[in-house]
Amino acid sequence: MSISGLFGTFSRLKKVVTAGLDVAWGGLLFGGYLLGTPRPPHGTRIPVGVDLLSSAALVAAAWTLRSAAPEGTLRRFGTRMAIGMSLGLVGDFCMKVSVPAGMAAFGAGHVAYIAGMLDLSDALGNSSALRRYGTWSVWIGIGLLAWYLVVHQGPKSGTPLAWAALAYCLLLASTVGVATGLTLQRLRFAPLMFGAMLFLLSDLIIAMKLFNPSMFEMIPEALRGDIIWLTYGPAQALLANALLFAPSSLRK
């Protein structure tokens, strides 16, 4: 069944609410970037607080979708994705004051994402161990290489936070791996996979900023101040709306 078919099962109110929240997210994030005034030290354009409001809109959208999902697999999947989004919003607030606390909140959110995708994969059937664990292993390797190049090769490597970043990077890579396996199982989940990939990219940019400033300074100045949110925001939007890509026929 198409995405529109699943959306068509929602009440008119929930259709309007979900669409409105997604539009609000895009307007806040990209409107803030286009209309905002650059601020030092990196020329950030998105106004203070607008970034958090955009995340809050996605959390509301995820819970709205969850409430519209039929009981069974789709409701469980929607619940876990909404929990992951909610923990992401907690992480957004935490990152303003404590990077380790933010990492912990985001990490817990990714555990929820992974659990939801694995459960959905099992319900879809015909999931081969090679496809699931093969893609997972490949992305673990990519995550390890990315951490080595961005963090371990940087001037601020060797600290407890740098080693914590390794575990966090491998967890995010695991999310991409599971999403890739799910996409190979059903191509309709490609947007979910791209969302997970963007999330990993966004956090690697944060790692550049924290552990490898010279690499971060290579990002064009016009994007440097907002590139984290301009990658993280779309990543979260694709994850928040992941339920729309699931076949509505799943009832168990």
Which helix (H) or strand (E) segment holds residue 100: the answer is helix 99-124
**pLDDT at residue number 2:** 44
How far apart (Å, rounded) are the C-alpha atoms in residues 225 and 216? 10
With 70 as the cut, is the pLDDT of residue 113 above it? yes
Neighbours of 186 (CB within 10 A): 17
Evaluate whether 88 touches 109 at the Cβ level (below 8 Å): yes
Task: Count the Cβ atoms, other than its own, within 10 Å of residue 144.
Answer: 15
- Phi then psi dihedrals of residue 44, to 5 deg: -60, 130
What tens digit of pLDDT does each residue of 137-196 get? Answer: 999 999 999 999 999 999 988 899 999 999 999 999 999 999 999 999 999 999 999 999
pLDDT for the residue numbered 1: 38
- Residue 143 falls within a domain, yes or no? yes
Give me the residue label for tokens 């519209």.
Answer: 68
Which residues is 44 bridged to in the sheet?
39
91 within domain boundaries: yes
Domain membership flag for residue 112: yes
- What is the pLDDT of the chain when averaged over all its residues? 91
Q: Is residue 251 part of a domain?
A: no
pTM (predicted TM-score) = 0.92
d(CA 57, CA 236): 11
> Whole-angstrom Cα distance, residue 216 to residue 204?
10
Kindly state whether residue 142 falls inside one of the protein's structural domains: yes
Over residues 96-123, the mean pLDDT reads: 95
Could you tell me what percentage of the chain is helix, strand and coil, using 3-state DSSP and rounding each to the nearest 5? 80, 0, 20
Per the domain annotation, does 35 fall within a domain?
A: yes
Model confidence pLDDT, tens digit, residues 203-243: 999 999 999 999 999 999 889 999 999 999 999 999 999 99
Q: Which of 84, 64, 41, 74 is nearest to 195 (CA)?
A: 84
Q: Which of 113, 241, 128 is nearest to 184 (CA)?
A: 128
In a domain, 252, yes or no: no
DSSP H helix total and E strand total for the chain: 11, 0
Cα 129 to chain centroid, rounded: 25
Q: How many domains does the chain have?
A: 1
CA 185, 187, 191, 193 dihedral sign is: positive
- Give a yes or no: residue 250 inside a domain: no
Range of the domain at 154: 3-245
